[in-house]
Structure 1
């Protein structure tokens, strides 16, 4: 797979998710077969105003290439300058522009999915960013603002003409947020309308869904978001299914818990134990999503404060669930 000058070793991409796809989680997903990872979205205004916390979100892991840095905003000049800073700070191989985030605090400021309501401004943003950096620029967007304004095909053509090297399409409108079914036919229409690579996004929870969405959309790549939470193996299992037609099983529960612990250890090394343990409350619970009868453990996970507590809890979990 080729995006501009960047070659990918596979077709599966880890979607950017605010507060989720930090360096630790991206590293684990890369180790399990994600061909491309994308940072959490960062504000170009924050970058331009030299906010001290923002650059940390752009830090890539050792050997995390190819990788994209995702930026958001709606002012062409600020987006261009922010893209230059993001590229310099991270050493990323691509810049991804968020034009799909439905969160009120993002869209309400004219950023994210709000740009789908102003394609002319979106075009100026893409052109400005593409001219500002010497790496491929990609764009992630949705079907449209709501059911009455679905402009995904026109928006995709505009993005290509403005200089986008690839597109990622989430098959829902901004109004849907993450509810209802993703419209894979809309993604197919985008793929047929442009000549650049297209990543399909939405309702990919199992390896078999990768085959289904590729078949339904004709897309070049699959971008996996929530389906990867607590399940980085979705990438290697889907890769195997694509290559051989056979989907390997999930690893034993003990191995899955060990991976959860390792992810939190990496997070602690990158951002400190206190922050990592607060975030562990969500991440570790995600690793238990396929296992029933662990309600008491899930409650305890939400009170974790130290790595030592996580180590003890992990051993208890492995003793409780012994599936070989």
Structure 2
């Protein structure tokens, strides 16, 4: 798979996930297999304003190439300025634009999954990004639409081609679905038929390497984007490497091997944040994902999920039954949130005129990370 001038093999992309796909997590995934590994969401306004916390988030490992950065924005001028800074300051090698986030604080400002409904505003944002990107490839990630009555993905796909994007990712759900129900792989197939000029990547309900193959066979898409499936399971990228190289197999680490990965992850987070307490605080959310399916007592799970030092973490991990085998289907099942959403929060009058290109007041978030 080719994105701009970059060859991506295997055709696998780590989805940007707020609070998850920071440098330590990307490092763990990259050590397991190949592909393209995207940063957490960076807001265009915060980048343009050189917000210290945002600038600190724009960090890549020394061996990380290409460096892939996801930007969120609603205002074409702000997005264009942010992309120009990325290009001129050499902050990344690839820019992905977020039009898929369903979080209320994003959609109520007209951003994320809400924005493609405004076709001309979408076009303006894409044009500003591509114009200012120089030689950097620009891609976008989107959903099917706001809800089943307001589907936008086919029109948005054509606009993306016309404005010179290098690839499109489609999550086969609407914003109203959030992460509930099943991803619509047929929609991914329809998008691929509608935009044969550029790569289309599929996202949604890929929990195993076999799922990735099934999606590509079913839809004809050019690659897959892995999100919740790798939470607490960076070795999924090892499985994906294998299945695309013709050597399929499944990583089945023992609980002891999982514990070793947990120690490494926590250590990398401490280095990344520069403070042990902050690194361990960030690590806590990963504990449940790492232990999914394993037989671990509630008390030990609670102890691991409340650690505040590496020494404390090591003591608790040593209490795990190291020889316990991989639990199979119990661990390969869906992970992460699966909640639906009955209502999508939108700016007042957002659905009145899809051709309106006006930028909502206070559309631009000033904090990165979703």
TM class by shorter-chain length? over 0.9
Q: Which runs of 5+ in 2 are unaligned?
A: 327-370
Tell me the distance in 2 between the aligned counterparts of 1:314 and 1:62.
30
Larger proportion of helix: 1
43-52 or 243-252: bigger deviation? 243-252
Shift of the alpha carbon at 1:291?
Answer: 0.7
**Structure 1 residue 30, shift from structure 2 partner:** 0.7
What's the CA shift for 1:245? 5.4
Q: CA deviation at 1:211?
A: 1.1
Q: Does 1:175 align with 2:176?
A: yes
Which residue is equivalent to 1:317?
Answer: 320
The counterpart of 2:226, out of the listed 221, 224, 230, is: 224
Q: How does 1:194-213 map to 2 (within 5 A)?
A: 194=195, 195-213=197-215
- Deviation string for 1:69-121 (max 9, x for gaps)? 00111111100111222345663221000011000011111111111210110
In structure 1, the partner of 2:237 is 235
Partner of 2:144: 143
Partner of 2:59: 59
Contact 1:73 1:110 in 2 (8 A): no
Check conservation: 1:65, 1:92, Cα contact below 8 A: no
Deviation at 1:243, TM superposition (A): 2.4
Aligned partner of 1:275 in structure 2 is 278
Q: CA deviation at 1:238?
A: 2.1
State the partner residue of 1:246: 248
Q: What CA deviation, in whole Å up to 9, does each residue of 1:219-256 have, x standing for no partner?
A: 11110000000111111112212322532332222112
Instruction: Quote the offset at 1:55 in angstroms.
Output: 1.1
Q: Which residue of 1 aligns with 2:10?
A: 10
What SS does structure 2 have at the residue aligned with 1:149?
A: coil
> 1:158 aligned to 2:187?
no
Q: Counterpart of 1:98 in 2: which secondary structure?
A: strand
Are the aligned partners of 2:296 and 2:320 in contact in 1 as well (CA < 8 Å)? Answer: no
Kindly provide the CA deviation profile for residues 153-183 of structure 1, in whole angstroms up to 9, marking residues without a partner as x: 1111111111210011100001111111000
Question: Quick one: distance in 2 between partners of 1:161 and 1:96?
Answer: 17
In 1, distance between residues paired with 2:88 and 2:239? 34
- Cα gap change, 1:316 to 1:88, in 2 (>3 Å): farther
Q: Is 1:100 equivalent to 2:100 in the alignment?
A: yes
Alpha-carbon distance, 1:283 to partner: 1.1
Name the stretch that deviates more: 272-281 or 227-236: 272-281
2:86 pairs with 1:86: yes
TM-score normalized by the length of structure 1:
0.95
The structural deviation recorded for 1:14 is 0.5
Quote the residue 2:125 is aligned against: 125
Tell me: CA distance 1:136–1:58, structure 2 relative to 1, closer, same or farther (3 Å).
Answer: same
Q: 1:22 touches 1:39 (CA, 8 Å); kept in 2?
A: yes
Secondary structure of 2:207's counterpart equals coil
Gap change, CA 1:64 and 1:100, over 3 Å in 2: same
Residue of structure 1 in register with 2:191 after alignment: 190
Q: Distance in 1 between matches of 2:233 and 2:317?
A: 17
> In the alignment, is the contact (CA less than 8 A) between 2:99 and 2:111 conserved in 1?
yes
Tell me how large the CA RMSD over aligned residues is: 1.5
Tell me what 1:45 maps to. Answer: 45
Paired residues, number = 323
User: 1:272-291 CA distances to partner (integer Å, 9 max, x unpaired)?
Assistant: 21221111111122110121
Q: Normalising by structure 2, what TM-score?
A: 0.84
Please give the per-residue CA displacement for 1:183-227, whole angstroms capped at 9, x wherever unaligned. Answer: 000011111111101110000111211111111111111100000
